Structure 1
Amino acid sequence: MRRVESLDVLRGVAILGTFGTNVWIFSSPGGLAAVLGGGGVVESGLRALSNGKFLALLSILFGVGLAIQHSSALRRGARWPGWYLWRSALLLVEGVLHFVLVFEFDVLMFYAVVAVQCAFIVGRSTRVIRGWMIAAGVLHVAVVGLLTAALYGKDVVGDDAADTSRWLDQVAFRLDNALALRAEAVFVLPLGMVLFLAGARLLRAGALEQSVRGDAIRRRLMTWGLGVGVPLNALTAFAGTDWALVDRYLCAPLVAFGLLGAITTLVHRTAEGPLRRGITAVGRSALSCYIAQNVLASVLCYQWGLGVTGGPLWTVTCFLIVSALVTAGAWLWLRRFPRGPVETVWDVLYRAPQRISSRRTRCPQGRSA
């Protein structure tokens, strides 16, 4: 399959946008507890710009990548899911390391689990895929509704937070509270399945292509995602913490589809400039940039690093500094190398067992000759 022009841009926007959510956890003196505890109108508005939307967009793009990998395997006549499961295992290991060593709200483990689930569905008929999406979607909406009703009017913000004065204390905190910190990833598994499979279907339908059909699909995505999703998201974002689950896990994913349509349309209609080249570089080295931005924010904000925390102004400044460094670093790196540093290691680990398996297959033929 030929390279999808807009895909790298979408990935780059999703990676930087995801950091737009995480940066509030890094930069706030109270960490996650302070973020969940609410804030002023300006702060709530700034958080609402990124909360959940770009994480959902990244999930959709993982589904696009899954569909590309599946199509590639079919063209080669390879067994599916086959080596894709090894790719998911590597992502899981990377996620565990990232969770323990860098950031307690890692998403890579979640993506690895959902990828395995969807790998066994993506090759089925449209009817089967639609059935799985409907079932997972109904389950997700029901759980969000029940939890919202159960927690309505209650203070669920905890006081416990990781001690950031020593890096080893943070690591110990994550290990001691692993189940609680990973609860969100389990809770959103049905949503992940919906978004992954939706991404696969959108790719096959031509939503990312520059064509009449692609334009029509993107218009529908923007109508629902931006025309309907954004107003609903605005209502829930300022409705208080009682509606936080609805805001993040129902409204934000709807907006993500609108973002996919709008960004792809913009890519097709505008010429490439310096900003787009930088974002494309982030998208081409997405895994490296995702890890790098969390490491940089840790160094800037945690007490074992520079220890700079503060209000919304510092949060925005931190986002701009880290995003600029990551974007410039990705662009400079890719001028000399074909893929990001983590992606390079990944490629070696991913191909090594395949080469060993290939040699074992050829050796008996060589001896018999």
Structure 2
Amino acid sequence: MSATETTTPAAPATSRRIRDVDALRGFALLGILLVNVEVMAGPYSAGEGPSASAADQVAAWLVTALVSGKFYLLFSFLFGYSFTLQARAAERDGAGFASRHLRRLLCLFLLGIAHAVVLFPGDILMTYAVLGLVLFAARNAAPRTVVRAAIWLVVALSVLLLGQGLLALAASGPAGVAGPEESVAAYRGDPVSVLHANLRQWRELLGGDLLYAPHLLAAFLVGLAAGRRGVLAESHRYRPQLLRLIGYGLPVGLAGSVFSAMCGKGPLEPRWSDVGMAVEVLTAPALTVAYACGLLLLLSTRHGRGIGNLLAPAGRMALTNYLTQSLVMALVFTGYGLALYGRAGTATVLAGCCVLYAAQLMLSSRLMGRVRYGPVERLLHTVTRGRRP
């Protein structure tokens, strides 16, 4: 079944679909923020360093177990799902989808370059733009085919990391780690020093982006299959399936995530890190699915509608909120502003993230009550369609 063969839902179903997609995206923004701040706040923001308190270590361990590696998968799934909605919109408008999609990816790529150099070297937009070409190539594949491909990608990456991890365990001792003093001085310096530090860290992170690209692509493909089926258009019809997915995904995902956190944050030695990452890659999708299904079930209840109405506006302008998070963190932690890089404990940093996220929810709700697009979404829409909305 091709994207053009999918039946367009009735108006009420479409309204639910938009709310559910946006609410999931708004929910994912919190997880993305909690993970990205560990990079932005400095080398001791992950519960490490000589001055880390017990509260800092516990907070960092919980973020690793419950958040890391889960929410970027949810964002990636929604990117693949939204791809099908954009294809249908192009068909309704009688426009060429290929040209629209390529312009959209080019805009994302350029935004990603600016984001990585100026604000956050761990940017994901460039990777999304490149993998979006693969998504376009797979647009007419059968849903079962792309889901099988996604499974193979996850398994292959997990096996690769496991092999790397077993080699590390066979080594005589843990690998040495360079001290953080140089990066601390650079990020506390003037804006030019911050730009140079971003460029250095960006080069170091590119290897990780390439290594984990199959994980992102797998989520893209599952989102593509779900979008072709219109799963989120009427998610309330899938309540038994959602409950089963939670029942299977929650214990598997939690077990894998706890083991991964033990490898990355203790009590196991650091040389177990790659083994933990292999388990994380294999089991994180299960916990991501459980999170998403749990939220969808909540949104279908009477009390959950209020939560959906709170999350959806932030999800409608998710790109603006994502970049705003990086801007605020850069102003707080680097020489662009307060230069608190490496000076704040994990628990304090995470509490600040919750305050920032709450502010984004409130501001997004006010803004989306007045306009249809967020600032960056308006730019992306204009470039994609070749005209102002």
Class of the TM-score when normalised by the shorter of the 2 chains:
0.7 to 0.9
Tell me if structure 2 keeps the 8 A contact 1:221–1:261.
yes
Per the alignment, in what secondary structure is the counterpart of residue 130 of structure 2?
Answer: helix
Please give the per-residue CA displacement for 1:92-151, whole angstroms capped at 9, x wherever unaligned.
111111001100111111111111111110222235424532442333222222222233
Alignment of 1:149-168 (within 5 A): 149-152=166-169, 154-155=174-175, 157-160=177-180, 161=183, 163-165=186-188, 166-168=190-192
- 1:26 shift after superposition: 2.8
- Cα 1:251–1:134, aligned 2, differ >3 Å: closer, same or farther? closer
- Number of the residue aligned with 1:260: 292
- Conserved in 2, the CA contact under 8 Å of 1:281 and 1:331? yes
* Aligned partner (choices 127, 134, 157) of residue 110 of structure 1: 127
Q: For residue 168 of structure 1, give the secondary structure of its aligned residue in structure 2.
A: helix
Change (3 A) 1:125 1:314: same
**Which one has more relative contact order, counting CA pairs under 8 Å at least 6 apart?**
2
1:340-355 equivalence runs, <5 A: 340-352=374-386
- Cα distance per residue 1:147-171 (max 9 Å; x no partner): 2223346336443536112222121
The alignment partner of 1:6 has SS state of: helix
Partner Cα separation in structure 1 for residue 224 and residue 118 of structure 2: 32
- Give the fraction of aligned pairs with identical amino acids, expressed as a percent: 24
Query: How big is the shift at 1:77?
Result: 5.4
Contact 2:45 2:349 in 1 (8 A): no
Structure 2 residue corresponding to 1:179, chosen from 185, 196, 203: 203
Letter in 1 for 2:263: A
In structure 2, C-alpha distance between the alignment counterparts of 1:267 and 1:275, rounded to whole Å: 7
Q: How many Å separate the matches in 2 of 1:125 and 1:274?
A: 36
Contact 1:222-1:258 within 8 A present in 2 as well? yes
Q: 1:130 to 1:319 in 2, by over 3 A?
A: closer
Q: Provide the TM-score with structure 1 as the length reference.
A: 0.85
Aligned length: 353
Structure 1 gap ranges (5+): 356-369
- Alpha-carbon separation, structure 2, partners of 1:217 and 1:76: 34
Alpha-carbon distance in 2 for matches of 1:27, 1:98: 16
Match of 2:302 among 270, 274, 277: 270
Separation in 2, partners of 1:225, 1:22: 25
Partner of 1:313: 347
1:363 corresponding residue in structure 2? none
Residues 75 and 157 of structure 1: is their aligned pair in 2 closer, same or farther, counting only changes over 3 Å? farther
Deviation of 1:292 (Å): 0.5
| Cα distance in 2 for residues equivalent to 1:43 and 1:17 | 13
Q: How far apart, CA to CA, are the structure 2 residues paired with 1:234 and 1:94?
A: 35
- 1:145 correspondence with 2:162: yes
- The answer to whether the 8 Å contact 1:27/1:318 transfers is no
For residues 202 and 347 of structure 1, the distance between their equivalents in structure 2, rounded to whole angstroms, comes to: 23
Contact 1:137 1:191 in 2 (8 A): yes
Q: How far 1:73 moved relative to its partner?
A: 3.6
CA distance in 2, matches of 1:134, 1:239: 24
1:321-336 counterparts in 2 under 5 A? 321-336=355-370
**Whole-Å separation in 2 of the counterparts to 1:157 and 1:266:** 44
1:68 match: 85
Q: CA–CA distance in 2 between the matches of 1:135 and 1:156?
A: 33
Note if contact 1:29-1:310 (Cα within 8 Å) is conserved in structure 2. no
What is the rounded CA distance, in whole Å, between the counterparts of 2:247 and 2:87 in structure 1?
A: 30
Pairing 1:297–2:317 present? no
Do the aligned residues in 2 keep the contact of 1:51 with 1:248 (CA within 8 Å)? no
1:207 to partner: Cα distance: 3.5
* Residues 226/112 of structure 1: CA separation in 2 closer, same or farther (3 Å cut): same
In 2, Cα distance between the equivalents of 1:272 and 1:219?
A: 16
Rounded Cα–Cα distance in structure 2 between residues aligned with 1:142 and 1:48? 20
Q: What does 1:1-369 correspond to in 2, within 5 Å? A: 1=8, 2-3=14-15, 4=17, 5-28=19-42, 30=44, 34=48, 40-76=57-93, 78-152=95-169, 154-155=174-175, 157-160=177-180, 161=183, 163-165=186-188, 166-210=190-234, 213-240=237-264, 241=270, 242-243=272-273, 244-246=276-278, 248-271=280-303, 275-308=307-340, 309-352=343-386
Classify the secondary structure of the residue corresponding to 2:187: coil
Q: Is the 8 A contact 1:59 1:196 kept in 2?
A: yes
SS in 2 for 1:155: coil
Please say if residues 80 and 222 of structure 2, whose CA atoms lie closer than 8 Å, have aligned partners that are also in contact. Answer: yes
* TM, length-normalised to structure 2: 0.81
1:46 deviates by: 3.7
- 2:122 match: secondary structure: coil
